[in-house]
Structure 1
Amino acid sequence: MNTNYLDLLAEKYDSEEKVVTEIINLEAILNLPKGTEHFVSDLHGEYHAFQHVLRNGSGKVKEKITDIFKDTMSKEEIDEFATLVYYPEDKLKIMKNKFNSQEELHQWYKQVICDMITLIPYASSKYSRSKLRKALPEQFVYVIEELLYKSDKYSNKKSYYEQILQQIIALGQSEKLITGLSYTIQRLIVDHLHVVGDIYDRGPDPDKIMDTLINYHSVDIQWGNHDVLWLGAFSGSKVCLANIIRICARYDNLDIIEDVYGINLRPLMTLAEKYYNDNPPFRPKEHRDKPLSEDESLQITKIHQAIAIIQFKLESSIIKRRPFFNMSERLLLEKVDYERNEVTVYGRTYALENTCFATIDHNDPARLLDEEDEVINKLLLSVQHSEKLARHMKFLIKKGSLYLRYNGNLLIHGCIPLNEEGQLEQMEIEGNVYKGRALLDQFEAYLRYAFSKRSQTDDLATDMVWYLWTGEYSSLFGKRAMTTFERYFIADKQSHKEQKNPYYYLRENEDICRSILKEFDLDPDQGHIINGHTPVKEINGENPIKANGKMIVIDGGFSKAYQSTTGIAGYTLLYNSFGMQLVAHKQFNSKEDVIHNGADVLSVKRVVDKELERKKVRETNVGQKLQGEIDMLTKLMEYRYMD
């Protein structure tokens, strides 16, 4: 081992006793049960539903409360206590008005604090005391530790503990302490969060989800196709930028672009007003809780058309300059007969309707007007100078990856591209052929390069990011072609169908899943593939647990746009030292419904896999890291402190 590194390490551990103490500590931690992992996917801007699932730990918070208090609390009391832990600030406001006197309120404060102090040791029983201390509210650490570790074996401290509680109440700190304890409990229930893709698009508050994740104690992200679109736009891809604005217009979420991230849409509005009129397929999908005026709807409809046409033109240019993308069939603007108002797609001719081709040069359909070019350049400049967007995208690139090998499982948002025989699909990039894990590594390398060279546009890296959004061999798209153009302009719904990669029916096959796990150097006997991206239509009897438990699909539809076809509001997955549980969620109505009525959103829990022996930290990714630290400290002992 490099002696310079050992010398640096010795500056921190500058005595034999410190080294020995740390080795003992780390070795002990390796023998603790592994912490609970919480998997969520396809959040799509649904901040309030996500917050609730995060706060209740997909039911784990109430489960712990029930374990401890089932003999001393009624079901209604357990529900009320759980709601207090989920939403302490809101619930405390309600409870303050519930009591007839200050004395009753103070007695309630005292009881709640005692109950939380009782719950915390159970919730933290898998952790070291040091880790628990880090989870406690900083301003109350001393007080809480005194109450947590109280011992009155000899009846000497009874009045001491009573006085602590009395002073908390007398000094007006009860609500702050209860709030702090509530968030401590939430944090202790879940050790690590995995977000298996698609934070962005469709829903109204992806920025709030990002702020939550930035402040979360332990998280990783596997990028989804919509996340990559936002990363691409920030990295300099004009076509990715056009796509995110088009999707925001479609779902009436342009305020995310303009109000949240401060991106100036005025030039685009001016262009839209000049060239476009009302057009039914481009009208925004209205939110039930946010009705639009006729003028607002018309303005969004015009913007929607303007950015869609810019998108189609930019896509055509990429397809032409990257022939190895094999997307020439998607040069649809060139396949339009503008005289007959028809288009030929995959050898079949369709009539066009609701067209908006005012800015298209029939002799050179991919050419942007000078005005369009100016608009997209101004938008890109605004995107790349948004402080808030920069903070979110930098976090997304830092914590994210296309796939993750974690504790023996493979986490991936979309798919591993396969052919009909179940073999890995191959893609040639600049003369080299890639497939499977190597192909995903190549995609990620291009994305990270594009992000690091944000001043470069229209280069191979930014074009590859767009390919991740829409390409046939993309692990995030997973279809043969994206039929956006057809959905806008062709009435025949047969033309709208998007053929999925064979992965999506082959993943029902256990042997296929085992071969994928092997491709990623994971044990097929122990590992699972945890997948998002495609909503599970439970309403039609589809099972999210596939291939004899080797494949678990956890996109059940957080997005309200999918819930009518899925029948539920999303799946989440829990993986603790005893095994895996899949949790289905009912539709989340509102935080107020939970606070006032105790209306939780869980339904059935299903055991996916039960550990034969309780899994320890030693067997996890964290354990591998800790073992590496132990090995280094052992080397330091030999180097510095042993004869």
Structure 2
Amino acid sequence: MTLHTQNVTHEKVENDRRILELLSHTFPNISAASTEIINLEAILNLPKGTEHFVADLHGEHEAFLHILKNASGNIKRKVTDLYGTSMLDSEIRQLCALIYYPEEKLQSIKAAQEDLEDFYNITLHKLVTVCRSVSSKYTRSKVRKALPKEYSYIIEELLHESGGEYDKQAYFNRIIETIISTGQAEPFIISICNVIQKLSIDQLHILGDIYDRGPGAHIIMDSLCHYGNWDIQWGNHDVVWMGAAAGNDACIANVLRVSLRYGNLATLEDGYGINLMPLATFAMETYADDPCKEFEPRSADEGNTHTIKTLKIMAKMHKAIAVIQFKLEGEMIKRHPEWGIDNRRLLHRIDFKNGTVDIDGITYDMNDCHFPTIDPANPYKLTPEELHLTHKLHHSFTVSTTLKRHIEALLSHGCMYGIYNSNLLYHASMPLNQDGTLKEVDVKGKKCKGKGLMTEIGLMLRSAFNDDTPDADREYARDYYWYLWCGPDSPLYDKDRMTTFERYFIKDAAAHKEEKGWYYKLRSKPEICDMILNEFGVDGSDRHIINGHVPVRTGNGESPIRAGGKLMVIDGGFAKAYHKTTGIAGYTLIYHSSNFELVEHEPFSSVEEAVSNGTDIVRSKKMIEQTARRKCVRDTDKGKVLQGQIDELTELLYAFRHGIIKEVTLRNR
């Protein structure tokens, strides 16, 4: 008996016989099974791939795409390690700019360079060296899959020829020379730069909120649809868009209102083809004499290029859809008394004569009481014009093929939580009681908490898009998208209320307060984090919870690292609207094979700036955790899967050698 099969028993093989017989179709004999075991064992000893964690992108597509291109500064680190002693810092920045934006950089180089052939020769040698470095932790098979088809053979030859021996060096140099002489230098450089970008990030984790505020959520989603390994833990802003795509009219109204609040119509119109003309026409007719001052887009204060006339129209549209939203939400809350949020139905609490509103027994003066579409006797009823407009908007959202494709990507790559290599990821919160125990939440009559709550919600959200879901269940699931957006027990929100109405119509800031749930007050305690990690079955000596959602006010001294290192909150404010709040322009958390590294980002100015100066937007890096030893694939989730495959193949070897399963060789096939 060999070393490989010494721990395998005849009884175990018989119990697993059905699986082993299926496995034997792929590995029909001892030689094939042994070769695969050798291959898998080798992979287990490769360094762990680099994982990137980002959160709360909020439509800032240029900054997001830049950190994908530069791997949050990881590419520059590689280039500096290779050429720090032989190249000036300015030369390193220029090489990095070429790697990040090869098409754009090549155009500027061609305009300035006289001897392009010499430039191509030097640059191709450097790029091959960088590519060899970033690919060193992967198998040849995985690298091959990342290569463009047209140049895969050539790049693979260059990557695996060191050029050390004279004959090999001549071979290597001749390949480079031929690439240049055949006029393929430029497309080849572009291809190899793209390969470097791909291989610099092994797995991308997005902790929610791709949508709203910034102008390019649709561009981010398009990029992700063509990206390699990525996952997302849905955020409340993602969920409200998913609800809109599912046909929830209250979610549609919220999506429109938030877009108008931030002066961002590009995602709606350019990205998803949403027809806003009916809303603009309705708003101009209904609020013609209303200045709608409180509804001017926030972006008007941030140098937005909208004209004054456009801003005035957007303000009227903003108010019009906000009033429709409050009506739709009021009716939805009435349909679901089990949600316990009747105190958020506020339209019937307005005293139109005195210009006040009663909220939780307190009377507030209103700064705006012009509501031409609200009937005080039936305030939640849509006017015929509002109803007609709602139907048009509903149709526009539900027939958008691009929106449908992007939501399908969110569903196929995402869920409410994820567990990756001893890291528990979720966007915002885990509902807790005051004593720190897990809070039971009603989900359609079923009491759920912790992992069970997140799982039940995830199943419900998917059911809204499944054809086999009964109509009543699908309707409830559609409604629940709105609750997750702003409900007090929603793991994606977890505040006592969303004070949208108050912020628009009441000047008294006391009315704007939103009380956070107990999770936000208790999550900095190590014992609370340990309890949650245990609930989800997350093991390992270096385990963490990673959240987004709540911006970290770095400028005020807040730290993203909490609970003795067990919790990492990485919402650093990618959205421009948050830059003043956080003091930075976003975080990236990087999990290398040897450490966790937190990267603070500066605001992204422009692609032109990055191309010209090799700007990295990396403000600072901080190593927040050093692993005891360099982690290999064996130490990861993937490693556990591969080890399971090795164990099954080891049983198959035993079965072959003891005649339990017959080998198939080339001679008897």
Moved more, 418-427 or 314-323: 418-427
Distance 1:273 1:324 in 2: 38
Name the CA shift for 1:339/1:183 in 2 (closer, same or farther; >3 Å): same
Corresponding position of 1:165: 176
Distance 1:156 1:255 in 2: 57
Alignment partner of 1:50 out of 33, 39, 64? 64
Moved more, 548-557 or 598-607: 598-607
Corresponding position of 1:580: 596
Alignment partner of 1:305 out of 289, 311, 319? 319
Name the CA shift for 1:165/1:434 in 2 (closer, same or farther; >3 Å): same
Alignment partner of 1:137 out of 127, 135, 148? 148
Map of 1:326-341 to 2, 5 A cutoff? 326-341=340-355
Map of 1:438-477 to 2, 5 A cutoff? 438-453=452-467, 459-477=475-493
TM-score by length of 1: 0.95
Give yes or no for contact 1:201–1:226 (8 Å, CA) kept in 2.
yes
Query: Which stretches in structure 1 are left out of the alignment for 5+ residues?
Result: none
Map of 1:166-185 to 2, 5 A cutoff? 166-185=177-196
Alignment partner of 1:115 out of 122, 126, 137? 126
Moved more, 478-487 or 418-427: 418-427
Deviations 1:292-338 (A, max 9, x none): 22321222122111211111111111211111111011110121122
2:418 is paired with a residue whose SS is strand
Distance 1:214 1:49 in 2: 18
Distance 2:123 2:279 in 1: 55
Distance 1:606 1:154 in 2: 41
Q: Aligned partner of 1:369: which letter?
A: T
Map of 1:331-480 to 2, 5 A cutoff? 331-453=345-467, 459-480=475-496
Q: Aligned partner of 1:164: which letter?
A: I
1:368 is paired with a residue whose SS is coil
Query: Which stretches in structure 2 are left out of the alignment for 5+ residues?
Result: 1-14, 660-669
Alignment partner of 1:223 out of 213, 226, 234? 234
Corresponding position of 1:496: 512
Give yes or no for contact 1:515–1:524 (8 Å, CA) kept in 2.
no
2:571 is paired with a residue whose SS is coil
Q: Aligned partner of 1:30: which letter?
A: L
In the TM superposition, residue 431 of structure 1 has moved relative to its aligned partner by: 3.5
In the TM superposition, residue 250 of structure 1 has moved relative to its aligned partner by: 1.1
Alignment partner of 1:532 out of 542, 548, 566? 548
In the TM superposition, residue 618 of structure 1 has moved relative to its aligned partner by: 1.8
Name the CA shift for 1:314/1:548 in 2 (closer, same or farther; >3 Å): same
In the TM superposition, residue 382 of structure 1 has moved relative to its aligned partner by: 1.9
Corresponding position of 1:484: 500
1:417 is paired with a residue whose SS is coil
1:451 is paired with a residue whose SS is coil
Map of 1:31-42 to 2, 5 A cutoff? 31-42=45-56
Corresponding position of 1:547: 563
Distance 1:212 1:552 in 2: 26
Alignment partner of 1:204 out of 215, 218, 229? 215
Deviations 1:604-629 (A, max 9, x none): 21222111122221221222222333
Instruction: Please say if 1:92 is aligned against 2:106.
Output: yes
Instruction: Please say if 1:279 is aligned against 2:292.
Output: yes
Distance 2:93 2:611 in 1: 10
Name the CA shift for 1:207/1:640 in 2 (closer, same or farther; >3 Å): farther
Distance 1:24 1:175 in 2: 39
TM-score by length of 2: 0.92
Deviations 1:563-597 (A, max 9, x none): 01111001110001112111111121112112212
Name the CA shift for 1:178/1:253 in 2 (closer, same or farther; >3 Å): same
Deviations 1:213-272 (A, max 9, x none): 111111001111100011111112111111001111111122321232112223322322
Alignment partner of 1:325 out of 322, 336, 339? 339
Moved more, 313-322 or 483-492: 313-322
Moved more, 198-207 or 378-387: 378-387
Name the CA shift for 1:278/1:18 in 2 (closer, same or farther; >3 Å): farther
Distance 2:597 2:591 in 1: 6
In the TM superposition, residue 525 of structure 1 has moved relative to its aligned partner by: 4.1
Distance 1:124 1:161 in 2: 18
Moved more, 238-247 or 264-273: 264-273
Between the two proteins, the alignment pairs up a number of residues equal to 640
Give yes or no for contact 1:324–1:429 (8 Å, CA) kept in 2.
no
Give yes or no for contact 1:205–1:256 (8 Å, CA) kept in 2.
yes
Moved more, 539-548 or 434-443: 434-443
Give yes or no for contact 2:58–2:575 (8 Å, CA) kept in 1.
yes
Instruction: Please say if 1:187 is aligned against 2:198.
Output: yes
Give yes or no for contact 1:235–1:452 (8 Å, CA) kept in 2.
no
Distance 1:443 1:349 in 2: 37
Alignment partner of 1:606 out of 611, 615, 622? 622
Alignment partner of 2:37 out of 4, 23, 39? 23
1:508 is paired with a residue whose SS is coil
Deviations 1:27-51 (A, max 9, x none): 2212212111000111000011111
2:546 is paired with a residue whose SS is strand
Moved more, 414-423 or 80-89: 414-423
Give yes or no for contact 1:408–1:528 (8 Å, CA) kept in 2.
yes
